[in-house]
Amino acid sequence: MNKVKVKFLPFNKTVEINKGTTILESARLADIHIQSICGGDGVCGKCRVILKQGKVSSLTTSLLTPEEIDDGVILACESKVFEEVQIEIPPESRADEGEILLSARAQKYLDIYSAVEELEPDIIHEAKILFSSPLATKLFLNLAPPSLEDTVSDLERIYRELRKIGISAIQTGLFNLRTLSKFLRQNNYQITATLGKRNGTTELVFLEAKDTSKTNYGLALDIGTTTVVAHLIDMVSKETLCAIGSFNKQITYGDDIISRIIFASERKGLEKLHLAVIDNINNLIQDSCSKKGNIKPDDISAVVCAGNPTMLHLLLNIDPTYLRKEPYVAVTNEMPVIRAAEVGIRINHRGLLACAPGVSSYIGGDITAGLLVSDLAEKQDVSMYIDMGTNGEIVLGNKDWLVSCACSIGPAFEGSGISSGTRAIKGAIQKVKIISPNATPSLETIGSTKPSGICGSGLIEIISEMLKAGIINRAGKIQPLKSQIPNPKSEIIRPGDEGLEYLIVPKERSATGRDIVLTQADIDHLIRSKAAVYAGISTLLKKMNYQIKDVQRFYIAGGFGSHLDITKSIEIGLLPAVPIENFQYIGNGSVEGARMILLSYIAMAKAKKIADKMTYIELSTDNIFTEEFVSAMFLPHTDLSLFPTPIY
């Protein structure tokens, strides 16, 4: 037999695979997702699993300690299966563990029902009923039957009724025409027409019998690099019926967008990434409908997606190769409105799929959607929008002008690429207090359980505390202790494989059975990440001849941003030193902006205006950014006048 079975614990899921398949790929086939920052190249060491029964062929053990090898720990990407095995996946290796930010936190949203007259004249070609209505709008039509005195065609009869309420420019498809005659007569000319705004034209999307105008549902989606969030919306009451999320199944092909773009260029790589996120979306649709009970996927007539350019290219199965190659060009920044079924999204087979418009290869619809929520582009005061994830997207401006940039932060603040890093999962260290260099730090973990690693907010806390305690200097270098540690057996600062390291939790107290440490390489990595963010902020300000003090408000968006301790972030030089009240959390502005676009064509038009108005500055070849980055490679900065004490 060429087939063998792999059982995964603690899920008790068994999958049959071909002999020679890696454990990582076997887990994908079982719909179990293991962390794999490097996309299965065998270099990150995050896909640790435990062999409980059977044997595997492992290519390398260089990333494992002797103790781990004795305990049966193996790397999922480097271990091939040739016989029946049982594999345990520990919590820290599960890609679908962790917190997902489901909604926005802004207290005041842009009024998406404002006057149509605010829009440009060239897009005012329809009645207000459609501008203030959802992407797909249902209208009940009680048509007059034909007679010898009224012999207009069946389609013209519908168009004529729509013209009575001010809707004139309209089109339909062959699908509707093929069934139209019998459909009208079988339903006594009492029908519900679903109208959609599709690429600047009103379309008769589909027809239903009788009056179903009060049953109209839509889906707002945030397709993030790490998570996918869905809001099921009643497009009549404008109520959010359900908000759920899941980890992006593309994670197992690589944690960041660059690794996924590279994977997409491999044989069938693009198709795998596309199908992974479509599977995410369809599962969320099914789960949302199940939670409400009386709603079926076929009742959903429209979907609006917001995401970064790479995620939207992969969603639509479009080759993203040239997003990462100079001069960094997208296939398109404004995706056309299509049928959701064209990409495999299982809603009404005639339902529409729209994407929030983007700006460049690294400023996408998630940012324009977030700007809708923040109302930065509606105010006279100059403000700044900062979305921190694997990439950092920054926008500076007001209602008259907008400039943007994107800086590569790397996945450090999401716990990746750090020796003891983890996502914000149960057991992740999120709060740290260091009383003295000699003392073991006091910790708080998510869920108040044994620590398993350090999440992004915890990493910022640790760097800030280590700096204040003198454990690291302003260059981020670990300093040897000057005084004798009371208990030499529990060294806190000690030699590691790559220089000194700081012991945060000894292995006997950790959930993983491994020491939780912060190495010199980890600190250097974190300083580079925080320097990239601050340099992006500084570069935009200098380009526009502004100073920090000229910015009235800083909007902080994204899952990582929502957990930031602003004070600690200022102390390490991640964020500028301004009064705390000048910062405002947005949360998941991407999904909230998608909801706004779903519910009103005005919001879509405003999002397009934002994208058209925005100038993008490429930082990779910018001398100012290079200078600012070097200056920010200290804690908090080389120029301490930018961080006066007290700084808030």
pLDDT digits (tens, 9 = 90+) for 165-187: 888 778 999 999 999 999 999 99
Q: Rounded CA gap, 209 and 454, in Å?
A: 56
Predicted confidence at residue 562, as pLDDT, reads: 64
What six digits make up the tokens of 144? 């007059």
When comparing pLDDT for 70 and 582, which is higher?
582
Of all helices (H) and strands (E), which one includes residue 628? helix 623-631
Predicted confidence at residue 231, as pLDDT, reads: 96
Q: Residue 298 pLDDT more than 90? A: yes
- pLDDT over 70 percentage in the chain: 90
For the residues 21-38, what does the mean pLDDT come to? 82
Predicted confidence at residue 68, as pLDDT, reads: 80
When comparing pLDDT for 359 and 254, which is higher?
359
591-627 residue pLDDT tens: 999 999 999 988 999 999 999 999 999 998 899 999 9
Q: Rounded CA gap, 560 and 287, in Å?
A: 25
Q: Rounded CA gap, 34 and 253, in Å?
A: 10
Closest CA to 453 of 433, 478, 424, 411: 424
When comparing pLDDT for 278 and 480, which is higher?
278
For the residues 212-230, what does the mean pLDDT come to? 94
Predicted confidence at residue 38, as pLDDT, reads: 67
CATH class of 135-209: alpha beta
Average pLDDT, the chain: 88
Predicted confidence at residue 497, as pLDDT, reads: 81
431-476 residue pLDDT tens: 999 988 888 899 999 888 999 999 888 999 999 999 999 999 999 9
Q: Rounded CA gap, 60 and 244, in Å?
A: 39
Q: Rounded CA gap, 494 and 176, in Å?
A: 73
Question: How many other β-carbons are positioned within 10 Å of the β-carbon of residue 285?
Answer: 24
For the residues 505-531, what does the mean pLDDT come to? 93
Q: Residue 380 pLDDT more than 50? A: yes
Predicted confidence at residue 199, as pLDDT, reads: 79
Predicted confidence at residue 60, as pLDDT, reads: 66
Neighbouring residues of 46: CB distance < 8 A, sequence distance ≥ 6: 35, 36, 37, 38, 93, 416
Of all helices (H) and strands (E), which one includes residue 23? helix 23-29
For the residues 404-427, what does the mean pLDDT come to? 84
When comparing pLDDT for 46 and 534, which is higher?
534
Closest CA to 184 of 215, 137, 146, 138: 146
Closest CA to 193 of 301, 336, 355: 301
**The two domains 3-93 and 217-355 share their CATH topology (first three levels equal):** no
What is the Rg, in whole angstroms, of the alpha carbon atoms belonging to the chain?
27
Predicted confidence at residue 440, as pLDDT, reads: 84
Alpha-carbon torsion (148, 149, 155, 157), positive or negative: negative
Q: Rounded CA gap, 93 and 453, in Å?
A: 11
Q: What is the CATH number assigned to the segment(s) 3-93?
A: 3.10.20.30
Q: Residue 115 pLDDT more than 70? A: no
Q: Is residue 236 exposed (0-12), middle (13-18) or buried (19+ Cβ within 10 Å)?
A: middle
When comparing pLDDT for 242 and 411, which is higher?
242
Q: What is the CATH number assigned to the segment(s) 217-355?
A: 3.30.420.480
What six digits make up the tokens of 266? 């491999």
Domain residue ranges of the chain, discontinuous segments joined by + = 3-93, 135-209, 217-355, 377-648
Predicted confidence at residue 33, as pLDDT, reads: 78
What is the residue type of 566?
I
Q: Residue 227 pLDDT more than 70? A: yes
Predicted confidence at residue 37, as pLDDT, reads: 64
- pLDDT over 90 percentage in the chain: 62
Q: How confident is the model at residue 112 (pLDDT cuts 50, 70, 90)?
A: very low
**Residues 385, 395 contacting (CB under 8 angstroms):** yes
For the residues 499-526, what does the mean pLDDT come to? 92
